[in-house]
């Protein structure tokens, strides 16, 4: 299957990005045992070409695995053990609550492109990929995928996502932790705008053994607002209205609350050893992928 065959009809993954992604893999601090044979070294002992250790020969063992050079030196029979190349689980969680529709491009548009790229890397590496929408209506998952033949289904799923509903992110993360299958690499892409925070949800995921990366997407207008004067602000999710006067004092207070919120999120991530990356939705996606995420070792050569 060629690159053009896989991506016909989708603008989420241009062919030039796909070619660059094929030289990368998702970084991991741990080695895990997988379920299917893939491109990943496992903690299990199997029969691949990657040597791991020896054990004593016992009657009935395959004589082809005896190290005859070692036998010539020691006059004892030892079997070679190998590390099996297996897949790992990769979970991509994408926030689609209404606040993700803000910005130009919207946070969701950038999030879908990042999810598509990271998901493709997992498929290319023969990992087991689970893509899940965290929307106002709860969880919505695509069937598990493996191999680049699943790229079209992944892109179709991501392409159909729309911002909707109020954020229930903390609750959704706890629910996902309780029902998800094998622990593995977990990539959360969200603006993290949940009134309840995300601490309990992150800890639930960490407690299940997931290795977590949080891609925190915000717009420049949210980080450095340029609005001023007497305004009526409308909440994107609750539709609640608030009359405000954005003068220098109000903007200064906003900046301090923003800094405190970001510091709290960083602490929550650090408490479970999660990787945290703050990303502007307006950033060039290639720069995010091949510069920012490589520096953070989310993607590695």
Is residue 73 situated within a structural domain? yes
The parent domain of residue 109 ranges over 3-31+87-219+278-300
Looking at residues 197-215, what average pLDDT do you find?
95
Q: What is the pTM of this model?
A: 0.79
Q: How far apart (Å, rounded) are the C-alpha atoms in residues 49 and 291?
A: 33
Q: What is the pLDDT of residues 239-251, one digit of tens each?
A: 666 666 677 888 8
Q: 196 and 120 in one domain? A: yes
| 146 closest CA partner among 274, 34, 54 | 34
Would you say 261 and 197 are in contact if contact means Cβ atoms under 8 Å apart?
A: no
User: In the chain, how many domains are there?
Assistant: 2
| The predicted structure's pLDDT at residue 50 | 55
Which ranges of 83-135 does DSSP label H, i.e. alpha helix? Answer: 107-124
Better pLDDT: 37 or 136 = 136
Longest dimension (CA), the chain: 90
Residue 228 lies in a domain: no
Higher pLDDT, 2 or 171: 171
Q: What span, in angstroms and rounded, lies between the C-alpha atoms of 149 and 127? A: 12
Domain co-membership, 80 together with 94? no
- Whether 96 has a pLDDT exceeding 60, the answer reads yes
Residue 22 shares a structural domain with residue 121: yes
Q: Is-contact 125 39, C-beta < 8 A?
A: yes
CATH code for the domain of 110: 3.40.50.410
Confidence label for 231 from pLDDT (cuts 50, 70 and 90): low
- pLDDT for the residue numbered 82: 56
Residues 193 and 126 occupy one common structural domain: yes
Question: Which runs of consecutive H residues, i.e. helices, occur in the chain?
Answer: 3-7, 15-21, 68-74, 107-124, 151-159, 169-179, 199-207, 220-223, 248-271, 285-287, 293-295
pLDDT class of 300 with cuts at 50, 70, 90: very high
Could you tell me if 156 and 214 lie in one domain?
yes
In a domain, 246, yes or no: no
Q: Do 10 and 159 have their domain in common?
A: yes
pLDDT tens-digit series, residues 114-124: 999 999 999 99
């Amino acid at each position: 299957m060629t690159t053009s065959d896989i991506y016909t009809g989708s603008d989420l993954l241009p062919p030039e990005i796909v070619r660059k992604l094929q030289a990368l893999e998702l970084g991991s601090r741990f080695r895990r045992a997988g379920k299917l044979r893939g491109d990943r070294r496992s903690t299990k002992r199997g029969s691949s070409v990657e040597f791991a250790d020896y054990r004593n020969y016992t009657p009935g063992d395959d004589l082809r695995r005896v190290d005859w050079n070692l036998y010539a030196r020691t006059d004892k029979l030892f079997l070679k053990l190998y590390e099996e190349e297996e897949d790992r689980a990769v979970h991509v969680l994408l926030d689609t609550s209404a606040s993700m529709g803000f910005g130009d491009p919207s946070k969701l548009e950038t999030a879908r492109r990042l999810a598509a790229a990271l998901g493709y890397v997992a498929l290319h590496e023969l990992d087991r990929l689970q893509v899940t929408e965290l929307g106002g209506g709860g969880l919505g998952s695509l069937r598990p995928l493996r191999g680049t033949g699943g790229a079209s289904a992944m892109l179709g799923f991501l392409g159909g996502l729309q911002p909707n509903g109020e954020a229930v992110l903390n609750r959704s993360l706890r629910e996902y932790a309780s029902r998800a299958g094998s622990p593995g690499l977990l990539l959360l892409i969200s603006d993290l705008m949940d009134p309840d925070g995300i601490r309990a949800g992150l800890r639930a995921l960490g407690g299940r053994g997931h290795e977590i990366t949080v891609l925190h997407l915000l717009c420049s207008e949210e980080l450095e607002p340029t609005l001023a004067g007497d305004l009526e602000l409308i909440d994107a999710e609750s539709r609640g209205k608030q009359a405000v006067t954005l003068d220098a004092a109000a903007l200064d207070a906003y900046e301090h609350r923003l800094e405190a919120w970001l510091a709290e999120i960083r602490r929550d991530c650090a408490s479970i050893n999660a990787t945290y990356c703050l990303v502007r939705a307006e950033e060039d996606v290639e720069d995010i992928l091949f510069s920012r995420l490589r520096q953070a070792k989310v993607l590695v050569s």
